[in-house]
Structure 1
Amino acid sequence: MRALSLFVTRRPWLVLALWGLAALLSVPFAARAPAALSANPGSLQDSDGRRVINILRERFEEVDTNTVLLVTRSTPPLDTAQGKAVYDKFVQGLEGVQGVTRVLRQDAQTTLPTRAEDGVLALTVAQIPLEEGATETLARVREYADKVEASQVGASGPGLSIRITGGQAIADDFTAFAESDTKRSEFAALPLTALVLLLVFGALVATGLPLVVGVLSITVAMACLFGLTRVMEVSTFAQSIITLIGLGAGIDYALLMVNRFREELAQDGDSRSAAARTMLTAGRSVAFSGITVAIAMAGLILPPLAFVRSMGLGGVLAVLLTILASLTALPAMLALLGERVNSPRILKFPWAQSSAASEAWTAFARRVTARPFLGVILSTAFLLLLALPALNMKTGYAGAWGLTPGVESRDALSDVRTLGAGGLLSQFEVVLDNGGRYGPEDRDRFRAVVADLRALPGVETVLSPFLTAADLSGNTAGGGTDAIAAVTALTQRSFSTDRQLLRVTVIPDTALRADRIDAFETQIRRTLDASGYRYTLGGAPVGEREFSQAITGALPTVIAGVFVATFLLLMVAFRSLLIPLKSILMNALTVAAAYGVVTLVVQDGFLASYLGIPQDVGVLDSSLPLLLFAVLFGLSMDYEIFLLSRVQEEVLRGHSNDEAVVLAVGRTARIITSAAIIMFIVFCAFIVGRVVANKSIGLGLAVAVLLDATLVRLVLVPAFLKIAGKWNWWLPAWLDRLLPQVRIEH
């Protein structure tokens, strides 16, 4: 650290020139990053869902199994000549859209109701590629629908209004709105953050420096994220994480550094030596705090899931670049500015950041430590009470319910459900192994399985070769010819090219929310188990469920890895066994409380409407517990280190443990509360958006930082430190000799 401090403060112009060049080169790549991110929850290569996709592609020659659902409102109704002519023209144009391989119209091959009784509402299904080219094809379909509607503007004759939904439409809307929500959150948080910084520092220059650090780290991190998208699929959540950490932690670290620099500058007025001393004191705390955050984010790299790993890599990138900017660009600017960091002086408040201890916070700490058991018991009980709803947490892929009303793909789903065709979004694909080439003697056995599946509760229909023209004619406007064509198509899709594998598609009577998939899948498996066939069950619900279980199943591994690494790091830093154990337990309490609040609001709907969260979400996004743990655990350690390092410093100066705790709170409470207000603003900005997962992350982080910076750091931790007394700093002599020497100050 000493060598770095000398280089940065002696060559500040070179350091800033390098950062300026890096930012300039990063801007075009950072701008392209959001469009390259993915909202696809992904699939596991070694899973039933992926195996079925591969079987359908290789043995059934089904490539384009991705469906786009287009809901049309016709004026006049479709059962009139004019209405039918307009609709026919629309379908013909849709069939010509590049990438659309097949169109199932309202009067053709489907056994689902595809037209309302009044003839106004109708459903058209377009098949597009499953993976490569899916987004581009959907964009062309949407462009075509917009052109159709635009051509009718001002016309008094017949026309169509079109709304689009489907798995691909929902995923693409998720990506688009996650990007726009993140940008809006940044723009909303920056001016409010600047206002808080102005109240803290009272000077424009000092206020601007933390914002510069945040913007620098975010810009370069987003460019690096774009580089990652060239070699792997990167989650759209990675952008949110980079913004959260870049703005939140970056401003926190800059706040600490600028405050310390002003203290050091007041001693001798030499800006370069003050900047060097700042790096050797506050800089060490920043580096150490950043490492703990990086450890927590690196925990996301442990699960063998590219979707989750990309978020971990994004978080680690953001942390490392934030540390780098805080320890290079910021001290270089401070060294050049000198006393000008305090100009122009706009506001003057006696409680602004200073080297003097706060009398109010010191008195508050004395009251807390006077009754430490009361503080520990009440604080812990309150946090556990908040955490209780998390015991009933349900996770999964929220799908359309993960978007707020007003988004087309979610709103169109209500029309699809009105038509009774919501199950098209939740189809189960069943592949049966016939044990040999299918022949006439196998017909009765196959028919019996299909009949059993059809009889299950909640099943709308089962697509199989046993549907007849009579079955279809009641749902088709074209009658016999169309129905016969439908039967032929169903027969072709039901047998593999070698006629050894059989296929049926089970369509529920409504779109299945994630919390209802398990029960529906269980009854299908029970029926198939009794059939005597060997089978593989797949489809969108199975793939989503498998992926969600893989993410939540990785949580214990991530938690264990982060706990062990954090324990070792804190043990080295504070020469103690109890301090790291206490820190882990109390941070875990904060995370659990945040889990409980998010579960209560997002899943159970309590006060959800006041936050703009739909009350029918039903589940938390499967990646949310993992994300919240990593981000919360890491950021909570910032405040922990700010406080504990000051306690340790006072103990080393000769104060008793009890007095050191009081003095540390008096000197750090201003920093912690100011930083917490800024973090709270940044996180709350994410609650205002149209993607429920982002809103959930913002809510969880805002609640956690509020609890952590007040109840935990200023009540629970001081009270515990008072109770533990000298045991806070106990470390076996033999272990102390083995550990490297690390000094942390701020």
Structure 2
Amino acid sequence: MNDSEYIPKNSESEKGQIILLEQLKYSPTKIILVYESESKISSSTIKDNLNNNILKSIKELEKLNYFTGYSSKQPTERQVLSTRDLFIFELYFNLSTDEALNHYQEIQAQVSEVKGTKLYWTGDVPTLYESREAGKKDISRAELIGLPLTLSALLFIFGSVGAAILPIIVGITTAAITMGIGYFIAGHMPISSHFPNLVTMLGLALGIDYALLMVNRFREELGRNLSIEQAVVKTAGSAGRSIVFSGLAVTVALASMFLIDLSFFRSIAIGGVLVVFFSVLVSNTVLLSLLSIFGKHLDFLSVLHKGYLNSSDESGFWKKVAFFVTRKKPIVLVLATSIFLLVTIIPVFTMKMGIPEPNTLPSDYPSRQGYERYLSVYGDVGNKQIQIVVTLEESLDHLAPAEALYNLTKKIRGVSDILTVSSPFELVGGSTKQESIVNIQNSDNLRRLEELRVVHDRYVVITAVSAYNYNDARIDRVIQDIRNLEFENVEVHVTGSAAVKVDLINRIKERVDAVLYFVFFSTFIILFFAFRSLVLPLKAVLLNFLSIGSSLGLIVLIVQYGIGSELFQMPYTGFIMPAVPIILFCVVFGISMDYEVFLLSRIAEEYKKSGDNTTSTERGLIHTGNIITSAAFVFILIVGVFIFTDIALIKTIGLGLVIAVFLDSTLVRIALVPALMRLLGQANWWMPQRFSSNRKTSLKKDL
């Protein structure tokens, strides 16, 4: 929780942490060393010798000018394990989290293994370091496994190596350019550790999806005996235009994360917007150039007589599907799919949010192993601590601030579900208020309190232990109860992991409405100008909300409730990470709008020709059903690889995207949208009179 990308700026918890660092001189970074003996040590002499050898190893850290000290946390008699002995030390460094990550290998190099023990490094920094290293491996895994799978799928879809290789080129180019720019940006502002994973995931998926649409349309135009130049122009004017509007819709959805004032969301928004921009740019420039070069030799090295994509075939599978959806059972399909989507949304209303602990990492990670050994002795007391940072009007050697601090401490003890309170008064002793105040004003006691870093001038820190872990929703109420207390002549900031979580979730909740409204109205306007209709964009946006809600509901069932979690190798946490709903909403909204634009563009094109809603909807589905399912299949292959990575956030987002795209490309775009358009009839194309006069001219020009 010390990773600054998740700490809300100007929040109460951040203000408290700043005082701890700047005034009370807390070390910004703490690393925990857990030495585990090979077996139970029976001799106290051997144990002392082992402890001394460990101390000699740790003291090598004094060579580092940013090392500020250590403390020993040896188990009491009650905490000693029966099968082995643990030697636990906390190391303190005058480094920020990011600086500690950069120096982590140097820190490790100073501490050597001690014979007869096994050393585990744990705490925030080791956990983040291992997570980032895992992220690099995940990207390599996606490239080594995901790209060959995707190429195989494209060979099946197109039937030839020439057509299949172009989307791969676009996807790799998009991801590489965005990663390069991201590396430059990282030198000027903080970038999330998840930036590379998400950029790789979206860059490959969007780049390949857009290129797939362009290549398919180019092949279709060549099949109409157009020249290469004419086919390129026609492709740019139809598929290229669809990609531009689709890219705008995706960009709007991803850019909405800028509205949440958190470093994590800003960096993900930057990556997402760049990915979409370059996906659209490369598809409409580099890809069009390659298509003109390949020309009628696009299908060289044919591996199948006929690929899955054959848009001109109107007598096969998609003809039957379109007839069933638009002419045979539209009412049944609208009712059945709507009921399913609405039912699966229900778990969203039971969603709980929490922050992952090291034990959500795979069991073979040393930081998790060390954390579990630490917990086996001390339990999760550290995860139940709440820090109350107090700013007095004067230093404690004055009577009024000493009395104010005593009264404040007494009020905190009275908060429900606070088990213990550690304040300066407990450290100096005193059976009465008067005696406690006299003791705390003793100059020797004040000097000792400053050495312990609980008092400095007029700044004081009090540590309270709650009955609940920071991921237990009940601790939110405890923190709020403390914040609601009325204190006289003092300024109080509640901080610590639990308080950061509360402030993080509150910051997200404060901006959720703004994100939803921004995405809703911006997308509506884009689709309004794309299709010259009020009904089509409104329907598209509302169905997207329905589709995303259903996907998020299924994620809650899997991750929070553990239903099917083993099948997807998902860690059962009992909560959803705060970033997941926002990222899934923004990304899925954009991707879903991709498929909506693909479908509606072709339906609008057919409607311009025939003027008949049912016929145009049917023919639009015939021509795009295969491209939508192909694009979705490729997207699922690329993103699905990330489900089997080691980072909980990336796994959850990967699974959420797979579920969302599967539902959207089948139930929603292939069944619900065309069936609903069939039932709405000519109302789909309704426009106010002042806009409708130029409608046919606009459609002809744009399509």
Helix, strand or coil: the match of 1:357?
coil
Selected match of 1:419 from 377, 383, 391: 377
Task: Name the CA distance, whole Å, in 1 between partners of 2:224 and 2:361.
Answer: 55
Other-structure match for 2:49: 85
Q: 1:279 to 1:311 in 2, by over 3 A?
A: same
2: distance between equivalents of 1:555 and 1:275? 42
1:385 is aligned to 343
Correspondence list, 1:469-618, <5 A: 490=449, 492-493=451-452, 496-498=455-457, 500-508=458-466, 512-513=470-471, 515-522=473-480, 524-525=482-483, 529=486, 534-615=491-572, 617-618=573-574
Change (3 A) 1:400 1:452: farther
Root-mean-square deviation (CA, aligned residues, Å) is 3.1
1:687 pairs with 2:628: no
Distance of 1:743 and 1:553 partners within structure 2: 44
Aligned pairs for 1:304-323 within 5 A: 304-323=261-280
Deviation at 1:646, TM superposition (A): 1.4
Query: Which residue is 1:67 aligned to?
Result: 30
462 and 350 in structure 1: CA distance in 2 versus 1, 3 angstrom threshold: closer
Q: Distance in 1 between matches of 2:497 and 2:194?
A: 21
Q: Residues 413-458 of structure 1: CA distance to partner in whole angstroms, max 9, x if unpaired?
A: 2222211253335532212344433248576775575566568776
Contact kept? 1:368, 1:719, Cα under 8 Å: yes
Whether the aligned pair in 2 keeps the contact of 1:299 and 1:562 (CA below 8 Å) is yes
Partner residue in 2 for 1:465? 424
Structure 2 counterpart of 1:126: 91
Cα deviation, residue 143, structure 1:
3.6
Q: CA deviation at 1:215?
A: 0.3
1:559 shift after superposition: 1.4
The one-letter amino acid of 1:173's match is: E
Verify: 1:104 aligned to 2:67, yes or no.
no
Q: Which of these residues, 167, 186, 190, is aligned with residue 143 of structure 2?
A: 186
Offset, 1:681: 1.1
Cα distance in 1 between the residues matched to 2:422 and 2:158: 68
Corresponding residue number in structure 2 for 1:203: 160
Q: CA-to-partner distance for each residue in 1:692-742, whole Å, 9 max, x for gaps?
A: 111111111101111111110111001110111111001012134699946
Cα 1:170–1:575 change in 2 (3 A) is same
**1:348 maps to 2:314:** no
In 2, are the aligned partners of 1:430 and 1:536 still within 8 Å (CA)?
A: yes
Q: In structure 2, how many angstroms separate the alpha carbons of the residues matched to 1:501 and 1:281?
A: 66
Kindly report which structure 2 residues correspond to 1:155-174, keeping only aligned pairs within 5 A, or say none: 159-174=116-131
Amino acid at match of 1:148: E
SS in 2 for 1:394: coil
Counterpart secondary structure, 2:643:
coil
Q: How far 1:680 sits from its partner (Å)?
A: 1.3
Question: How far apart are the structure 2 equivalents of 1:286 and 1:715?
Answer: 22
The answer as to whether partners of 2:21 and 2:28 remain within 8 angstroms in 1 is no
Q: TM-score scaled by structure 2?
A: 0.89
Residue 334 (structure 1) aligned with residue 297 (structure 2): no
1:309-333, Cα deviation, whole Å (9 max, x unpaired): 1111110100111111111111111
Q: Distance in 2 between matches of 1:283 and 1:529?
A: 62
What SS does structure 2 have at the residue aligned with 1:546? helix
Tell me what 1:735 maps to.
691
Does residue 406 of the first structure (1) align with residue 348 of the second (2)? no
Q: Comparing 446-455 with 397-406, which one deviates more in the overlay?
A: 446-455
Deviates more, 1:254-263 or 1:456-465: 456-465
Q: Deviations over 1:655-676 (max 9, x none)?
A: 5211111111111111111111
In 1: Cα distance, 2:209 partner to 2:374 partner: 48
Distance 1:591 1:702 in 2: 12
Q: Say which SS state the counterpart of residue 463 (structure 2) adopts.
A: strand
**Closer, same or farther: CA 176–509 of 1 in aligned 2, 3 Å:** farther
8 Å CA contact retained: 1:134, 1:168: yes
Q: Does the CA-based 8 Å contact 2:404-2:490 persist in structure 1?
A: no
Whether the 8 Å CA contact 1:517–1:545 is kept in 2: the answer is no
Q: For residues 283 and 661 of structure 1, what CA distance do their matches in structure 2 show?
A: 21
Amino acid at match of 1:408: P
Superposed, 1:5-154 pairs within 5 Å as 40-60=4-24, 62-75=25-38, 77=41, 80-97=44-61, 98=64, 99-107=66-74, 116=81, 120-131=85-96, 133-145=99-111, 147-148=112-113, 152=115
Displacement after TM superposition at 1:383 (Å): 0.7
Where 1:658 maps in the other structure, the secondary structure is helix
CA distance in 1: counterparts of 2:454 and 2:571, whole angstroms: 42
Per-residue Cα deviation, 1:325-352 (whole angstroms, up to 9, x for no partner):
1111111111111222111111123744
- C-alpha distance 112-385 of structure 1, shift in aligned 2 (>3 A): farther
* Matched AA of 1:169: P
SS in 2 for 1:513: coil
SS at match of 2:389: strand
Aligned residues: 681
Instruction: Show the counterpart of 1:274.
Output: 231
